[in-house]
């Protein structure tokens, strides 16, 4: 007897900065079903600026040539209204990059203009349950700006990507312990997607030769408290120094991981790191987008509660929270002038 698979109705998935390098590595994963599952068809709405349209048309041709059954429609556009129409999911990859000599307040001012437009159009055109992932940096504060300009969409629907940092941390511990990367679980990234973030292995586990142990008891603590933290905090800068471009392939993989877990849920006993609106958990100021460990079920995430936080860890959380408060203040000063 042959089993018939019933497919869902297609969902509209928006990717901004769609002619860029991160998108080029992300789009196949979306179209092939690795993010939303093998029974969820999608329509891809690809948004970029007008000068990028020729490149974007070439990307659309490649998507067509993939001949993937889950990909029903590809829309290429420079119009946010067209891109965000009835969007169920939005990957906001495009942002103003920091240029040489640019101060953080200048970068934030430029991004306020970008995410103001996108927030307003999301508010007007997207589904009210749209899941928004901001990848373009400064991702945490860009997500905050975007949510500010989309008041009819729940604040918890706006997230920032720290999954790349989590993946880096998991891989670094696995390499040090000489195990496969899937043998490391529950590493946490706290705070901002910046050099102030706190990669925390205090609650992580590692399975070595069939035995699962807390990472701090299995790995040299001097390495964990110094080299490991610095390595993850500086990894993005190191990639740029070596590649002469920012992370693209690994960022795309992390964006897919983030959204797959948000859409499909986390495994029992495991959590992932996401930049989400702070509700005051762990003493973090409210109303900043802060990376916490979360579990996800039925498309809804919950911040993991009750983890013990050492005094050293608290001080590191305070540093990254302070940076995010400063970014919020600088962004608000631009918003108020608007």
DSSP 13-62: EEEESTTSHHHHHHHHHHHHTTTT-TT--EEEEEE--GGGHHHHHHHHHH
Q: Which residues are catalytic?
A: 193
The candidate with the shortest Cα–Cα distance to 289, out of 151, 164, 188, 138, is 138
Q: Count of residues for the chain?
A: 338
Cβ(112)–Cβ(145) below 8 Å: yes
State the Cα torsion 55-60-62-65 to the nearest 10°.
-160
Which sign does the torsion angle of CA 129, 274, 20, 167 carry?
negative
SS3 184: strand
Geometric angle at alpha carbon 182, from 181 and 186, rounded to 5°:
100
**209: Cβ–Cβ under 8 A, 6 or more apart, which residues?**
none
The per-residue pLDDT string of the chain (338 residues; one tens digit each, 9 = 90 and over) reads 555 566 789 999 999 999 999 999 999 999 999 999 999 999 999 999 999 999 999 999 999 999 999 999 999 999 999 999 999 999 999 888 766 666 667 778 888 889 999 999 999 999 999 999 999 989 999 999 999 999 999 999 999 999 999 999 999 999 999 999 999 999 999 999 999 999 999 999 999 999 999 999 999 889 999 999 999 999 998 998 899 888 999 999 999 999 999 999 999 999 999 999 999 999 999 999 999 999 999 999 999 999 999 999 999 999 999 999 999 998 888 877 66
């Amino acid at each position: 007897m042959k089993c018939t698979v019933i497919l869902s109705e297609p969902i509209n998935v928006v990717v901004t900065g769609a002619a860029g390098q991160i998108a080029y590595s992300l789009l196949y994963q979306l179209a092939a079903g690795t993010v939303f599952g093998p029974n969820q068809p999608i329509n891809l709405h690809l948004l970029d600026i007008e000068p990028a349209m020729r490149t974007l048309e070439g990307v659309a041709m490649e998507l067509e040539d993939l001949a993937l059954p889950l990909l029903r429609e590809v829309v290429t556009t420079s119009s946010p209204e067209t891109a965000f129409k009835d969007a169920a999911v939005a990957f906001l990859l495009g942002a103003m990059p920091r240029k040489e000599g640019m101060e953080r307040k200048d970068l934030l001012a430029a991004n306020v203009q970008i995410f103001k437009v996108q927030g307003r159009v999301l508010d007007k055109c997207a589904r009210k349950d749209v899941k928004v992932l901001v990848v373009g940096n400064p991702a945490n504060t860009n997500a905050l700006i975007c949510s500010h300009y989309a008041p009819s969409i729940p604040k918890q629907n706006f997230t920032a990507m720290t999954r790349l940092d989590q993946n880096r941390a998991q891989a670094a511990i696995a390499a040090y312990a000489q195990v496969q990367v899937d043998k490391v679980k529950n590493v946490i990234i706290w705070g901002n997607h910046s050099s102030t973030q706190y990669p925390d292995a205090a609650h992580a586990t590692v399975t070595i030769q069939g035995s699962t142990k807390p990472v701090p008891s299995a790995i040299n603590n001097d390495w964990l408290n110094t080299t490991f933290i610095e390595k993850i905090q500086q990894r993005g800068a190191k990639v740029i120094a070596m590649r002469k471009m920012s992370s693209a392939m690994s960022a795309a993989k992390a964006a897919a991981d983030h959204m797959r877990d948000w859409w499909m849920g986390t495994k029992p006993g495991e959590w992932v790191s996401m930049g989400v609106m702070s509700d005051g958990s762990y003493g973090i100021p409210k109303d900043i987008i802060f990376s916490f460990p979360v579990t996800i079920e039925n498309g809804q995430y919950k911040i993991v509660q009750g983890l013990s936080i050492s005094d050293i860890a608290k001080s590191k959380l305070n540093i990254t929270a302070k940076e995010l408060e400063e970014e919020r203040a600088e962004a608000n000063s631009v918003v108020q002038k608007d």
